[in-house]
């Protein structure tokens, strides 16, 4: 320190170290390279700002410490002379996102500390790095102390562009879900913005959240979920429409299914997607619980070519898909035998099943009955055990990939071998299907079975219940305390 200044490594070394650090964080999805501050040590976070020229997200790793709920960093570029780009970006747009060790993600608002506050925060950094003043003296301008304040719900909702949503930033158990104040989506020109009144937690949502089976990461992100907000089913009111939307107008009450994003106060849905006017005879809660199970069941039933005189056995008739399958099979005039637990026998009979078997009392594979179609609607049976109960030319329908994912190859093999087929129908979430369901509902031929309804805030509890695999029908999330016990005409 001959010149009275603390020594810094050469610039090329600092820059290489940054690149390597950034690469490690990116390659490990944030599991390495980010750490929390400890007593006497600063931490490292990833800060994503909006590029002031490009408008694109720009990420950088910066050091920080915690000051109450705020995160504090220094606007310096390895103590180089220039102002760091991330600080220039924040001065243009102070809204940013930080990622902390452990996959925690926070939306923040950045500001510069001034006066006595700056002195206090500077002093705290000095305690973490005794060379602070010496490094800062190398820079021609004052080094800004940057305070990253969490975006408080009340404050941000006040601007009308915020909403509450269930988010998750890493794959895992139901506890990775939490309610967060996030940016409200804006509809594109072919989209409608729906104010969600009710949504659901489905087995599909659980699969996305837990990344099970593993290959779902191909769609949702290898290391972390790209879609932060889950939820596929919804019922609500149109809040805004894009310029090219002609089918819906503000105030319309709608229901349907979308890929992600419905576990929130608002979601944008394409006009051409699986969205239709809410059935006049249904509440928002009921309407939200219609589409997923029914679209999956419909795919199976259409594959089985059900019609008058054909017989179908629905195994797992008390689940979301099972309750839908029983009703839709009756709509196609098939003769329906349903299999469920004793406690659900009356319910399933009320859905139209001609015969109900309590699986705890009777093993349908051993009673000598034969069916044209056997639909395992809960992924718990197998073709091997059921084939004796299928008629020649019969079809066995599955909802799951099965043990060691044997169902797809089996489906392929039975196209050429034997006289009984296996199929894993792929659901189609289309407007036509949702409109068909609306017609059936209004004609009194279809109803959604709801097991429990939770407020959106209780999403972890609701999800934990769904994952017991023992729900009867569907589990609903109500948004902003909406309880519409009686349906309003749409
Ligand atoms: N192919 C697809 O696109 C797709 C999409 C979503 C889900 N899935 C799969 O479809 C399956 C069903 O989904 P879901 O939402 O309808 O399920 P669900 O609602 O969670 O099913 C639960 C119901 O199944 C009954 N059940 C549980 N074990 C049973 C057994 N061994 N025998 C008979 N009934 C049983 C339960 O009643 P009791 O416990 O009282 O018997 C409960 O009523 C799941 O395996 C899921 O992974 C497939």
Tens digits of residue pLDDT in 98-116: 988 877 778 889 999 999 9
| Interval between CA 468 and ligand 1 midpoint (Å) | 10
**Whole-angstrom distance, CA of residue 263 vs CA of residue 206:** 13
Report residue 451 as tokens. 């097991």
Which residues are near ligand 1 (CB < 6 Å)?
A: 203-204, 293, 296, 315-316, 318-322, 340-341, 359, 377-380, 399-400, 427, 469-472
Answer yes or no: is pLDDT of 82 > 80.
yes
Give the residue, by CA position, lying nearest to ligand 1 atom 35. 316
**Where is mean pLDDT largest: 89-103, 149-163, 408-422?**
408-422
Cα of 456 from ligand 1 centre, angstroms: 23
Q: Are 34 and 61 in contact (CB under 8 A)?
A: yes
Query: Using CB atoms within 10 A of its CB, is residue 196 exposed (0-12), middle (13-18) or buried (19+)?
Result: buried
How confident is the model over 60-72, as a mean pLDDT?
91
Q: Poorest-confidence range of 52-56, 267-271, 319-323?
A: 52-56
Q: For residue 318, which atom of ligand 1 is closest to its CA?
A: 43
Q: Which of 469, 471, 476 to mutate to test the pocket of ligand 1 (most atoms within 8 A of CB)?
A: 469
Which of the four pLDDT bands, split at 50, 70 and 90, describes residue 11? Answer: confident
Give the per-residue pLDDT at 13: 84
DSSP code of residue 101? G
Which of 378, 386, 464, 472 gets mutated to test ligand 1 (max ligand atoms within 8 A of its CB)?
Answer: 378
Query: What is the chain's mean pLDDT, rounded?
Result: 91
The pLDDT of residue 4: 52
Locate the ligand 1 atom nearest the alpha carbon of residue 380 and give its number: 31
Q: Which of 29-33, 395-399, 485-489 comes out lowest in average pLDDT? A: 485-489
Buried b (16+ CB within 10 A) or exposed e, 11-46: eeeeeeeeeebeeebeeeebeebbebbeeeebbbbb
- For residue 360, the model assigns a pLDDT of 95
C-alpha 324 – ligand 1 centre gap (Å):
12
The domains located in the chain, with CATH, are 11-151 (2.30.110.10), 171-288 (3.90.180.10), 293-423 (3.40.50.720)
Model confidence pLDDT, tens digit, residues 321-340 = 999 999 999 999 999 999 99
Q: Whose CA is nearest to atom 22 of ligand 1?
A: 319
User: Would you say residue 437 has pLDDT above 80?
Assistant: yes
Chain length of the chain: 490
**Of 394, 326, 399, 390, nearest to 357 (Cα)?**
326
Please tell me the residue having the least CA distance from ligand 1 atom 34.
Answer: 316
Ligand 1: residue whose CA is nearest its atom 18: 319
CA angle 50, 56, 58 (to 5 degrees): 60
Question: In this model, does residue 300 exceed pLDDT 90?
Answer: yes
Whether 483 has a pLDDT exceeding 60, the answer reads no
pLDDT tens per residue across span 226-258: 999 999 999 999 999 999 999 999 999 999 999
The residue whose CA has the least distance to atom 37 of ligand 1 is: 470
Helix (H) or strand (E) holding 238: strand 233-241
State both tokens at 458. Answer: 């209780």
Pocket test for ligand 1, best of 206, 316, 427 (most atoms within 8 A of CB): 316
Q: Is 422 helix (H, G, I), strand (E, B) or coil?
A: strand
Residue 139 has pLDDT above 90, yes or no: no
Residues 6+ apart with CB under 8 A from 28: 223
Q: Please give the distance, rounded to the nearest whole angstrom, from the Cα atom of residue 235 to the centre of ligand 1.
A: 23
The SS3 of residue 125 is: helix
Q: Are strands 191-201 and 233-241 parallel, antiparallel or unpaired?
A: antiparallel
248 compared with 93, residue with greater pLDDT: 248
Ranges 31-35, 87-91, 230-234, 320-324: which has the least confidence: 31-35
**pLDDT computed for residue 57 by the predictor:** 87
Q: What is the distance in A from the centroid of ligand 1 to the CA of 354?
A: 21
Of 200, 201, 203, best ligand 1 pocket probe by most atoms within 8 Å of the beta carbon? 203
Q: Where are the alpha helices (DSSP H) in 6-159?
A: 11-27, 85-92, 115-128, 132-136, 153-157
Q: Whose CA is nearest to atom 26 of ligand 1?
A: 316
Mean pLDDT in residue range 377-392: 96
Task: Choose between 421 and 135: higher pLDDT.
Answer: 421
- Amino acid 68: pLDDT: 85
Instruction: Tokens 């960093």: give the residue.
Output: 73
Predicted confidence band of residue 448 (pLDDT cuts 50, 70, 90): very high
- For the sheet with 390-398, list strands across it: 355-358, 335-340, 311-315, 371-376, 390-398, 421-423
Q: Mean pLDDT across the stretch 418-446?
A: 97
Residues 267, 446 contacting (CB under 8 angstroms): no
Please tell me the distance between residue 13's alpha carbon and the centre of ligand 1 in angstroms. 57
> What pLDDT, on a 0 to 100 scale, did the predictor assign at position 5?
61
Determine the pLDDT at residue 160.
59
Question: Does residue 482 contact residue 197 with C-beta atoms inside 8 Å?
Answer: yes
pLDDT at 385: 96
pLDDT number for residue 152? 55
Average pLDDT rounded to a whole number, residues 436-459: 96
Of all atoms in ligand 1, which is nearest to the CA of residue 468? 20
Instruction: Name the closest-CA residue to atom 12, ligand 1.
Output: 378
Please report the pLDDT score of residue 481 as a whole number: 67
Residue 439 in 3-state DSSP? helix
- Determine the average pLDDT of the residues in 181-208: 95
Per cent of the chain over pLDDT 90 is 71
Contact 442, 435 (CB under 8 A): no
């Amino acid at each position: 320190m001959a010149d009275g200044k603390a020594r810094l490594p050469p610039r090329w070394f600092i820059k290489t170290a940054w690149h390597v650090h950034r690469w490690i964080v990116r390659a490990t999805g944030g599991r390495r390279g980010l750490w929390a501050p400890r007593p006497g040590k600063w931490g490292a976070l990833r800060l994503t700002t909006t590029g002031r020229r490009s408008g694109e997200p720009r990420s950088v790793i910066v050091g920080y410490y915690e000051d109450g709920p705020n995160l504090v960093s220094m606007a310096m570029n390895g103590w180089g002379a220039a102002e760091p780009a991330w600080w220039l970006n924040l001065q243009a747009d102070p809204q940013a996102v930080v990622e902390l060790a452990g996959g925690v993600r926070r939306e923040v608002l950045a500001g510069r500390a001034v006066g006595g506050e700056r002195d206090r925060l500077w002093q705290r950094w000095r305690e973490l790095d005794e060379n602070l003043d010496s490094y800062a003296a190398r820079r021609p301008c004052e080094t800004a102390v940057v305070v990253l304040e969490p975006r408080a719900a009340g404050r941000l909702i006040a601007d009308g562009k915020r909403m509450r949503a269930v988010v998750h930033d890493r794959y895992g158990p139901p506890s990775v879900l939490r309610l967060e104040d996030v940016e409200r989506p804006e509809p594109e020109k072919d989209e409608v913005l729906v104010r969600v009144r009710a949504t659901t937690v489905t087995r599909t949502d659980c699969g996305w959240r837990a990344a099970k089976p593993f290959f779902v990461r191909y769609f949702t992100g290898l290391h972390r979920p790209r879609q932060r907000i889950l939820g596929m089913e919804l019922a609500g009111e149109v809040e805004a429409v894009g310029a090219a939307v002609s089918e819906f107008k503000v105030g319309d009450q709608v229901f349907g299914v979308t890929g992600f994003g419905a576990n929130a106060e608002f979601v944008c849905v394409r006009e051409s997607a699986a969205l239709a006017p809410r059935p006049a005879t249904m509440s928002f809660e009921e309407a939200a619980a219609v589409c997923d199970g029914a679209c999956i069941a419909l795919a199976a039933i259409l594959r089985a070519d059900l019609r008058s005189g054909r017989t179908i056995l629905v195994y797992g008739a008390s689940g979301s898909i099972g309750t839908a399958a029983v009703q839709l099979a009756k709509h196609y005039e098939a003769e329906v035998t349903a299999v469920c637990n004793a406690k659900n026998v009356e319910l399933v009979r009320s859905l139209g099943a001609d015969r109900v078997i309590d699986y705890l009392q009777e093993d349908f594979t051993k009673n000598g009955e034969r069916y044209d179609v056997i639909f395992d609607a809960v992924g718990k049976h197998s073709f091997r055990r059921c084939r004796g109960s299928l008629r020649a030319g019969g079809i066995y329908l599955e909802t799951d990939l099965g043990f060691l994912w044997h169902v797809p190859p089996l489906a392929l093999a039975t196209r050429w071998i034997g006289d009984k087929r296996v199929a894993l129908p792929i659901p189609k979430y289309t407007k036509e299907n949702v409109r068909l369901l609306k017609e059936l509902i209004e004609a009194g031929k279809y109803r959604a079975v709801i097991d429990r309804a939770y407020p959106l805030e209780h999403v972890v509890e609701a999800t934990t219940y769904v994952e017991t695999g023992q729900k009867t029908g569907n589990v609903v999330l109500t948004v902003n305390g909406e309880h519409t016990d009686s349906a309003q005409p749409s």
